């Protein structure tokens, strides 16, 4: 196990180094004049010269890379052109809201996706299976921004069942201010017993969560179905049938556990995908997370902010993969050998 | 969506295609043919010239003259959606050709050569795969400036590693086959072995993967345009059409609904066809 852990950590470190190098290439080497990227498209010649000076853009590239890495490690991720604040501060401010949204969405995706996959596998090649296959294919094929706009217009606009946008009713900040512990609004509201904000956040969460959950829900249902169908060909299924277990109890009591292994290892991938899909959803529902920050940065050509978001999400993805692999190594010794 | 393709088998695609018995996949194939025809023949089939403005008829609901209604500039939406299909298909074909070209070349070399060459190439793919595709494309597109070419390059940069990995694992298993050994013993140089024996046999899983990925590429391209870093006016592009009309959604539903449906149907068609092809290729999934 220690050997596996060191090897896997070493690998993750290499990938993070590569991620930093690639971000550097995109921001400093690809653009014709990186100074424009740092000072903004409307910058005066003086501002461009200042940016060149400030970021050492006239230095040789290896020197620039070294300085870039040093700045990143010491927590200087540059200054946002739009908010005029350090990018790292902006990211820390926005991240909890994204975590809240994506967490809720993944929870929903697992709670709905797994049983739906079981249903499809139980009635394989019959009507429920076809229904699940078509629906899960539709939800992974839908453009998220369009789904978000449609749900928002129908359920918030026309029917008025849910609030249109935002994380919670901002009026509540004065009537029942929230004490921050984790910075994740819904968790803080729950542990401090702030019911007005808790219920308001729940109401605001429903529509964006549904949209972000759509893709992972479809993927999880498809994976569960496929894995269960593969289990059905295994010897243990034949034994269980001979012993007289019903098809449903074979699926839920014996096949589901081995089948969920590959599904769970998919979660890290789905998590990163959901964060980025959440970008478009956050923009539509004005959710104060990383996505809204990224989309606003894009429309302001705020390169340092975009670089920051890119780097943060990529590093998070590497770490999530590492955690999943290590957990699998703990649970399943065979995974260590790979 | 891009899971492992099951066992890497060197079965030619022409022997795989007839095994698609799945009706859903056939529906996908039919839809793709229809969408492609509508897109390619748009200049002749579409009811109106592509950029005809009609300010008087701006934002008129679907009717006998304008089946999908008109946008705020009075352009016929059915015509725009058909032309948008051209943009999406061009982006999908160019992106997939570019990324598969680069990915398969590197992957086949890595898989056949093995050793440190394979390690280096695979570590590079690890780095690219650490970025969610949409994220890296957005960062690149912001730097490169918005255009259709940008979309193609930006998505291809994020997509080639998948093909490199797939081709590498297929090529590695092919490299152990008897016919490759025989060629090596006869003194055939490595580049020729790769070109004549490994590459053709490693292609089927890649082609299946391409059909699986087309839907994803179309979705990302639409998202890039929606974010303002993709296609620009006056190009007809589905994501762009949605963002241009999104503030009018409550009063003029058709201007957002039809372009969005076009993305949905096209991505769906490619996804079900890809799944069907994968099923036909993977012997384990043959129905009993």
CA distance B198 to chain A (A): 25
User: pLDDT tens digits, residue range A180-223?
Assistant: 777 777 777 777 777 777 777 777 888 899 999 888 888 888 88
Report CA-CA distances (Å) from B15 to A291, B18, B167, B204.
45, 6, 20, 10
| Domain A91-337 top-level CATH class | mainly alpha
ipTM of the complex, rounded to two decimals: 0.83
Q: Would you say the pTM of this structure is higher than 0.90?
A: no
Is B223 part of any domain?
yes
What average pLDDT does this structure show over A66-85? 83
pLDDT, residue B283, reads 52
Residue B190 is part of which domain span?
22-40+76-279
3-state secondary structure of A86: strand
Q: Which of B51, B100, B91, B96 is nearest to B74 (CA)?
A: B51
Q: Which of B127, B142, B256 sits opposite A19 (nearest CB)?
A: B127
CB B208 within 8 A of CB B169: no
**Least CB–CB distance from A276: residue in B135, B228, B284:** B135
- Quick one: pLDDT at residue B98? 94
Alpha carbons A316 and A272: distance in angstroms, whole number: 8
Cβ-based contacts of A225 with chain B (< 8 Å): none
B59 found inside a domain = no
Residues of A with Cβ-Cβ distance to B135 under 8 angstroms = 276, 279, 309-310, 313-314
Which of A13, A145, A229 should be substituted to probe chain B, the one whose Cβ sees the most B Cβ atoms within 10 Å? A145
A63: exposed, middle or buried (Cβ count in 10 Å: 0-12, 13-18, 19+): exposed
Tell me: pLDDT of B11 over 70.
no
- pLDDT score at A172: 67
Q: Please, is B173 exposed, middle or buried when counting C-beta atoms within 10 Å of its C-beta (0-12, 13-18, 19+)?
A: middle
CA–CA min distance B196, chain A (Å): 31
Q: Report helix angle B133-144 to B148-174, nearest 10.
A: 140
Chain B residues touching A18 at Cβ < 8 A = 123-124, 126-127, 130
More confident: B139 or B282: B139
- Rounded CA-CA distance A221/A235 in Å is 24
CB–CB contact A153 B249 (8 Å): yes
In a domain, B239, yes or no: yes
First and final C-alpha spacing in chain B: 24
Distance separating alpha carbons of residues A40 and A31, to the nearest angstrom: 13
Inter-CA distances, A98 with A231, A247, A265, A324, B94, Å: 36, 40, 21, 20, 34
Percent of chain A with pLDDT over 90: 1
Asked if the structure places residue B53 within a domain, the reply is no
For residues B102 and A239, give the distance between their C-alpha atoms in angstroms, rounded to a whole number: 48
- The confidence score (pLDDT) of residue B266 equals 92
Q: What is the pLDDT of residue B1?
A: 34
Does position A240 have pLDDT exceeding 70, yes or no?
A: yes
Contact A313 B135 (CB under 8 A): yes
Structural domain tally of chain B?
Answer: 1
Q: Is residue B170 included in any domain, yes or no?
A: yes
Classify residue B57: in a domain, yes or no.
no
Hey, which bits of A153-307 come out as E strands?
none
Q: How far apart are CA A105 and CA A102, in angstroms?
A: 5
Q: Which residue of A has its CA nearest to B137?
A: A310
Q: Is the pLDDT of residue B6 over 60?
A: no
Indicate the domain borders of chain A: 2-73, 91-337
Q: Do A22 and B131 touch (CB under 8 A)?
A: yes
Mean of the per-residue pLDDT values of chain A? 81
- Cα distance between residue A164 and residue A255, in whole Å: 42
pLDDT recorded at residue A60: 81
Give the whole-angstrom CA distance, residue A100 versus residue B164: 35
* Partner-chain contact A141 B226, CB within 8 Å: no
**DSSP-derived secondary structure for chain B:** -----SS-----HHHHGGG---HHHHHHHHHHHHHHHHHHTHHHHSSS-TT---GGGTTPPS-SS-TT-B-TT--BHHHHHHHHHHHHHHHHHHHHHHHHHHHHHHHHHHHHH-HHHHHHHHHHHHHHHTS-HHHHHHHHHHHH-SSHHHHHHHHHHHHHHHHHHHHHHHHHHHTTSHHHHHHHHTT--HHHHIIIIIHHHHHHHHHHHHHHHHHHHHHHHHHHHHTTSS--TTS--HHHHHHHHGGGTTT-HHHHHHHHHHHHHHHHHHHHHHHHHHHHH-GGG---
How distant is the Cα of B267 from the closest Cα of chain A, in angstroms? 5
At residue B287, the pLDDT reads 40
Across the range A88-95, mean pLDDT stands at 87
């Amino acid at each position: 196990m220690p050997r596996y852990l060191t090897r896997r950590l070493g690998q993750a470190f290499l990938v993070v180094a590569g991620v930093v190098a690639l971000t550097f290439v995109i921001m400093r080497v690809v653009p014709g004049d990186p100074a424009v990227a740092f000072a903004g498209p409307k910058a005066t010649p003086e501002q461009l010269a200042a940016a060149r000076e400030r970021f050492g853009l006239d230095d040789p590239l290896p020197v620039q890379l070294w300085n870039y890495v040093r700045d990143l490690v010491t927590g200087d991720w540059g200054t946002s052109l739009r908010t005029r604040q350090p990018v790292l501060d902006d990211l820390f401010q926005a991240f909890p809201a994204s975590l809240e949204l994506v967490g809720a969405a993944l929870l929903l995706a697992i709670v709905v996706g797994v049983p739906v996959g079981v249903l499809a596998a139980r009635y394989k090649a019959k009507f429920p299976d076809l229904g699940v296959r078509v629906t899960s294919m539709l939800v992974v094929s839908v453009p998220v921004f369009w789904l978000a706009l449609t749900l928002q217009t129908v359920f918030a606009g026309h029917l008025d069942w849910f609030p249109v946008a935002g994380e919670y009713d901002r009026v509540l900040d004065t009537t029942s201010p929230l004490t921050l512990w984790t910075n994740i609004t819904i968790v803080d509201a729950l542990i401090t017993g702030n019911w007005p904000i808790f219920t308001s956040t729940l109401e605001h969460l429903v529509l964006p969560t549904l949209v972000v959950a759509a893709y992972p829900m479809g993927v999880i249902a498809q994976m569960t179905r496929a894995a269960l169908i593969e289990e059905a060909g295994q010897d243990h299924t034949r034994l269980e049938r001979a012993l007289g277990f019903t098809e449903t109890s074979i699926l839920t009591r014996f096949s589901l556990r081995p089948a969920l292994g590959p599904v769970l290892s998919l979660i890290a991938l789905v998590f990163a995908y959901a964060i980025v899909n959440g970008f478009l959803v956050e923009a539509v529902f004005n959710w104060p997370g990383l996505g809204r920050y990224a989309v606003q940065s894009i429309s302001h050509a705020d390169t340092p902010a975009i670089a920051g978001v890119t780097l943060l999400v990529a590093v998070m993805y590497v770490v999530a993969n590492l955690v999943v692999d290590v957990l699998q190594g703990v649970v399943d010794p065979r995974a260590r050998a790979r | 969506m891009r899971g492992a393709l099951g066992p890497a088998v060197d079965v030619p695609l022409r022997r795989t295609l007839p095994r698609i018995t799945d009706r859903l996949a056939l529906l996908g194939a039919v839809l793709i043919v229809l969408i492609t025809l509508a897109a390619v023949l748009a200049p002749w089939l579409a009811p109106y010239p592509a950029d005809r403005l009609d300010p008087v008829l701006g934002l008129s609901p679907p009717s006998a003259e304008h089946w999908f209604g008109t946008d705020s500039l009075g352009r016929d939406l059915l015509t725009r959606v058909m032309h948008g299909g051209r943009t999406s298909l061009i982006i999908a074909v160019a992106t997939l050709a570019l990324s598969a070209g680069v990915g398969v070349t590197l992957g086949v070399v890595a898989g056949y050569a093995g050793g440190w060459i394979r390690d280096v190439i695979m570590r590079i793919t690890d780095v690219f795969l650490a970025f969610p595709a949409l994220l890296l494309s957005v960062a690149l597109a912001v730097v490169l400036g918005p255009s259709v070419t940008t979309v193609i390059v930006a998505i291809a940069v994020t997509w080639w590693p998948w093909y490199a990995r797939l081709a590498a694992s297929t090529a590695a298993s092919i490299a152990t086959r008897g016919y490759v050994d025989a060629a090596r013993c006869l003194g055939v140089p490595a580049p020729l072995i790769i070109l004549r024996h490994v590459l053709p046999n490693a292609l089927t899983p890649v082609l299946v993967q391409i059909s699986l990925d087309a839907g994803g590429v179309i979705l990302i391209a639409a998202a890039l345009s929606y974010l303002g870093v993709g296609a620009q006016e006056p190009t007809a592009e589905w994501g762009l059409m949605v963002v241009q009309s999104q503030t009018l959604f409550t009063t003029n539903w058709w201007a957002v609904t039809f372009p969005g449906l076009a993305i949905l149907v096209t991505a769906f068609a490619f996804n079900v066809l890809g799944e069907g092809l994968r099923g036909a290729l993977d012997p384990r999934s043959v129905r009993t």
